A and B are shown apart, each in its own frame.
Chain A
Amino acid sequence: NAGVMQNPRHLVRRRGQEARLRCSPMKGHSHVYWYRQLPEEGLKFMVYLQKENIIDESGMPKERFSAEFPKEGPSILRIQQVVRGDSAAYFCASSPLRGGDTEAFFGQGTRLTVV
């Protein structure tokens, strides 16, 4: 059973371009979470999705950021018109059940650099 797969591992974008980050959860997991880690900081919750539904996007910036988890295929975190401040590591996690005591399994992250 492969773990949570994130791609690309590293992504470089120029200011104003779009960044698409992909996350394939573990087999059998229907709950996906996205976190952002700024340099020298801990992870910050962005969004929680279940298949085809956004459950909680309270940690997502209101503009330029969107996330989806379609019925088929990976979850996508999309950042439009990237700015230097978007440079960070973006981690995806999945779980078979709603979180809390249930362990969330993390991917290796995508390191986004905006130049």
Chain B
Amino acid sequence: GNSVTQMEGPVTLSEEAFLTINCTYTATGYPSLFWYVQYPGEGLQLLLKATKADDKGSNKGFEATYRKETTSFHLEKGSVQVSDSAVYFCALSDSNYQLIWGAGTKLIIKP
């Protein structure tokens, strides 16, 4: 079946470091891909999305490119801040409504 695999956490970085959180997927057809973020004590927020191969989603300095050939959607940011500390979820939509989720990656940024 369809699935999403994420890099295990926690990922601990210093402020201004480069961030990569790996996400790979297995799916039939052409799913849409998403990154959601969950800040401490809050709900899930859509961070960015891509709906077809080679699309790049971007928001708040984060980017991810839909790579069909490697079935990946890695999240990157050039310079992280303490305020980026959160749990990041990669997800795909393989139907009109159902999201398939990765397990989440906790990101800790130290000043």
Q: Kindly list chain B residues whose C-beta atoms are within 8 Å of the C-beta of A69.
A: none
Within 8 A of A (CB), among B85-99: 89, 91, 93, 95-99
Contact B101 A42 (CB under 8 A): yes
Contact A100 B32 (CB under 8 A): yes
Bitwise interface map of B from 5 to 43 toward A, beta carbon under 8 Å scored 1, else 0: 010000000000000000000000000100010000111
Q: Give the distance to chain A from B80, nearest Cβ to Cβ, in Å.
A: 22
Bitwise interface map of A from 34 to 66 toward B, beta carbon under 8 Å scored 1, else 0: 010000111111001000000110000000000
Interface residues on A, range: 20 to 34
Stretch of B44-52, B61-69, B71-79 lying at the A interface:
B44-52
Considering the chains assembled together, what is the distance between the CA atoms of A44 and B96 in angstroms? Answer: 16
Within 8 A of B (CB), among A61-115: 91, 93, 95, 98-101, 103-109
Contact B43 A40 (CB under 8 A): no
Contact B93 A99 (CB under 8 A): yes
Q: Give the distance to chain A from B59, nearest Cβ to Cβ, in Å.
A: 12
Interface residues of B (CB under 8 A from A): 4, 6, 32, 36, 41-46, 49, 51, 89, 91, 93, 95-104
A-B pairs, top 9 by smallest CB distance, nearest first, are A99-B97, A42-B101, A108-B43, A106-B44, A43-B101, A42-B103, A100-B96, A106-B43, A98-B96
